[in-house]
Structure 1
Amino acid sequence: MSDVAGGAGAHGAPDGVGAERTPDGSGVAAAGAGPDGVGAAPGVAGSAGADVLAPLAARYAAWHGLPAHAVADVRDEDPDDVRAMPVVLRLERDPVPSRTPLLEAAAAAAVAVCLDPRAEPGGEWHEALAAWVSGRIRKVARRARGAHWRAVQDLPGVTIAVPGPDGVARAVGRDGTAGSDGMAGSDAVAEVRALLPCRVSELPKTVSRLQISGSDLPADAPGPPPAGVPVLWLNPDVEMTVGKAAAQVGHATMLLASVLDAEQRATWARDGFRCAVRTPSPERWAAMLPDDPATAWRKRGVISVRDAGFTEIAPGTITVLAEAP
């Protein structure tokens, strides 16, 4: 389980609805290039899901000001009200997806759920997302294949596929876009479905039966990131399984979306929330780390993900730097 609160004083989320099985839980996002610019001060303004992500922007600076031990302090949480977003990685035995496209699909899927029109106030997803985002934005990555993968397509969420060598992310679902079974087809490099967050204790059996451990893939060599898309730089000094990294890049795209203005978010949504995930050299990472993460967005267009350290890594570790194009 990966956890980022995004600010000081984060508490367990208030009561809200969890994920429910629906006939059509698919999401839609178009393929294309990344956003055309950035520069907005932290804050959220009127677009699909903007109200849902507002707490992240509001808490961001305070979260980075906490001492490391404080980011892992959950004594104020009600254990029965812990919520998480399930992130389901499609890991077939053959073909096995490459690590980087899978992480890019996970990053796009997480933010796509939050900026889906159904996340707007009054929408069918709003209450569940608002309850989750108002607390710690935990994500739990699970792996699925075959019939189990097809089964999660019936749960509310968004599936992102990164197909072919072009690396373009696009949404697929049960609406006929990618076939009646929700599969992207033989050209798909990687597929991930991010589901509507719910209380961990209320996970549907379709999800709870999926394995969490053992989700790892070997490193690959994706080459330079394409121009014009956000780049999510993974900390090269920290070893993370693909499941842990998938949660971290999902945090990164959510935080990035929370500080974009309405036009930038809309452009990114039309482009399918395309992004690039890369691992820099330790020397480049050290040079990229901002002296003050709280002001790095205004000065450099960089957002930092600081993990609570519940799994795999130490509390307070910066796991991802999200760099706007």
Structure 2
Amino acid sequence: MGSAESSSVEIHDRVDERDEAAEFAVRHAELARGYGGNGDPDDPALVQAMQMVLHIPKVDPPARSALLAAAAAAAVAVCLDSRSGPGGDWAARYLAWKRSRIRKVARRARGAQWVAAGEVEGVTIEVDGAQARAFVPGPIGAIDPRIRKLQIGGTDLAHDDPGPPDPELPVLWVNAALEMSVGKAAAQVGHASMLLAGALPVAAAAAWADREFRCAVRDADERQWAQVSAEVAAGRAVAVRDAGFTEVAPGSMTVIAVAPRR
């Protein structure tokens, strides 16, 4: 009797795993199709954007590289969350954004502001003590007031040197020559994580999801940037080219995402 019950549970678990894998594959296929194409609506209040919040306390702020890694992981986590898939609570809002011009807006929070931000629908990721939260996208005219009141600029973090990245993690190389603010860089690495996840085979993307989309973010100097740019040209990496609305010139290549080699 016991062995029959055990066998039934094992079969049920395998069915659940297959169902979850199939549902993830559908969400991944949507991401892999790319985004944009619908343009912006005539009403500026209906322009779609994903809001992001970076936790930057006044005392002991996080390392810039870790905070950007958390932001990158949070952005792609929203995209591949089950709630963004067919029939999910976030699906309509996610697809309306994804099929428009992709925009992300990064804000900063501390203390009670950060606690309040955690009550708004989204995903929080922590990397080495740094925390970032990405929210379900929507029209900029309907931003939750707990997020709208947060500052977009005004605080930056010093560049840090965390050492060589873990070879088992994707690396998002930030173009240091552009001198982007931490908020701008957060939006750009969020674009990069989405592009990379869509470019990966579905099994590799699922394995990355199991690790909460952990990645490394590093500044690329002129020599390193030339090397990773060659990877893009060879089809072994993906690049973010910015529309140029803020901080950088249109068409600037801001971040290059390189998948792990093993």
TM value normalised by structure 1 = 0.69
How does 1:54-133 map onto structure 2 within 5 Å?
54-56=32-34, 78-133=43-98
- Report matched runs for 1:1-325 at 5 Å: 47=25, 49-56=27-34, 78-163=43-128, 188=129, 190-290=130-230, 296=233, 299-325=234-260
Does the CA contact (< 8 Å) of 1:85 and 1:194 recur in 2? yes
Instruction: After superposition, give the CA deviation of every residue in 1:53-108 in whole Å (9 maximum; x if it has no partner).
Output: 14417x7xxx9xxxxxxxxxx77754232011111000111121110100000000
Q: Give SS of 2:75's match.
A: helix
For 1:119-175, what per-residue CA distance to the aligned partner results, in whole angstroms no more than 9, with x for missing partners?
111111111110100011100000011111001111110000113xxxxxxxxxxxx
Structure number having the greater helix percentage: 2
1:221-278 deviation per Cα after TM superposition (whole angstroms, max 9, x unaligned): 1101111111001112111000000000000000111122221111001011010101
User: What's 1:68 paired with?
Assistant: none
* C-alpha contact 1:105 1:192 (8 A) present in aligned 2: yes
Contact 2:106 2:183 in 1 (8 A): yes
Residues 225 and 276 in structure 1, CA contact (< 8 A), matched pair in contact too: yes
- Cα–Cα, structure 1 residues 259 and 209, in superposed 2: closer, same or farther, change >3 Å? same
Deviation at 1:50, TM superposition (A): 2.1
State the SS of the aligned residue for 1:289. Answer: helix
Percent of aligned pairs with the same amino acid: 49
Question: Greater CA radius of gyration, 1 or 2?
Answer: 2
Q: Distance in 1 between matches of 2:200 and 2:87?
A: 22
Residues in 1 aligned to 2:196 and 2:43: alpha-carbon distance in whole angstroms: 28
| Cα pair 2:32 2:198 within 8 Å, conserved | yes
| 1:48 Cα deviation from its structure 2 partner | 6.0
Matched residue count: 237
Q: What is the rounded CA distance, in whole Å, between the counterparts of 2:85 and 2:74 in structure 1?
A: 17
Structure 2 spans left out of the alignment, 5+ residues: 1-22
What is the CA–CA distance in structure 2 between the aligned matches of 1:75 and 1:159, rounded to whole Å? 28
Equivalent-residue separation in structure 1 for 2:212 and 2:138 (angstroms): 24
CA RMSD of aligned residues (A): 2.0
Higher-RCO chain (CA-CA 8 Å, sequence separation at least 6): 1
Gap change, CA 1:303 and 1:77, over 3 Å in 2 = farther
